[in-house]
Chains A and B, each alone.
Chain A
Amino acid sequence: MGIISSGFHGKRRTGNPALPQGQYETESFPVLTAGPAPYIARADWEFFITTETGQRRAWSWDEFMALPQVDIRTDIHCVTSWSKLGTSWRGVSLDALFEDVETTSEFTTAHSYGGYTTNVPLQDLLDGQAWVAWEFDGEPLERAHGGPARLLVPHLYFWKSAKWVNGIELTPHDVPGFWESNGYHIYGDPWREERYS
Chain B
Amino acid sequence: MTANNGSASPGAEDPRFEDRDIAGTTDNPIPHLDGNAAAGPLWELFRIDIIAAIGRCKNCGAVRVFGEAAVYSDAPGIVVRCSSCGGVLLRLVETPTKFWLDVSGLSYLQIDREG
Q: Give A residues with C-beta under 8 Å from B.
A: 28-37, 39, 79-80, 115, 142-145, 147, 159, 179, 181-184, 195-196
> Complex Cα distance A115/B41, Å?
25
Asked if A29 contacts B79 (CB within 8 A), the reply is no
In the complex, chain B residues 1-60 whose Cβ is within 8 Å of any chain A Cβ: 15-16, 20-25, 27-30, 32
Asked if B23 contacts A144 (CB within 8 A), the reply is yes
Asked if A28 contacts B76 (CB within 8 A), the reply is no
Contact of B95 among A29, A31, A196 (CB under 8 A): A196
Q: Mark B92-106, 1 if CB is under 8 A from A, else 0.
A: 010111101010000
Contact of A30 among B23, B28, B70, B102 (CB under 8 A): B28
Asked if A183 contacts B28 (CB within 8 A), the reply is no
Chain A residues near B112 (CB-CB < 8 A): none
Residue among A30, A144, A145 with most chain B CB within 10 A: A144
Nearest A residue to B98, CB-CB: A183
* Count of B interface residues, CB-CB < 8 Å: 31
Nearest B residue to A146, CB-CB: B23
> Complex Cα distance A144/B93, Å?
22
> Complex Cα distance A115/B79, Å?
13
Shortest distance in angstroms between B74's beta carbon and chain A's nearest beta carbon? 5
Nearest A residue to B93, CB-CB: A183
Question: With contacts A31-B25, A33-B74, A182-B93 known, what are 17 further pairs, Cβ within 8 A?
Answer: A30-B74, A34-B79, A34-B88, A35-B88, A36-B20, A36-B21, A36-B30, A37-B30, A39-B15, A79-B76, A142-B25, A144-B23, A144-B24, A144-B30, A145-B28, A182-B91, A196-B97
Q: Which 5 A-B pairs have the closest CB atoms?
A: A143-B23, A37-B23, A183-B100, A183-B93, A196-B95
Nearest A residue to B21, CB-CB: A36
Asked if B22 contacts A28 (CB within 8 A), the reply is no
Asked if A182 contacts B75 (CB within 8 A), the reply is no
Q: Give B residues with C-beta under 8 Å from A.
A: 15-16, 20-25, 27-30, 32, 70, 72, 74-77, 79, 81, 86, 88, 91, 93, 95-98, 100, 102
> Complex Cα distance A31/B77, Å?
13
Nearest A residue to B24, CB-CB: A144
Chain A residues near B32 (CB-CB < 8 A): 36
> Complex Cα distance A100/B24, Å?
37
Shortest distance in angstroms between B77's beta carbon and chain A's nearest beta carbon? 7
Q: A28-B27, A80-B76, A159-B76 are in contact. Are A36 and B22 (CB under 8 A)?
A: yes
Chain B residues near A34 (CB-CB < 8 A): 72, 75-77, 79, 88
> Complex Cα distance A128/B86, Å?
36
Nearest B residue to A157, CB-CB: B76
Contact of B28 among A31, A115, A195, A196 (CB under 8 A): A31
Asked if B79 contacts A35 (CB within 8 A), the reply is yes
Residue among B16, B74, B81, B98 with most chain A CB within 10 A: B74
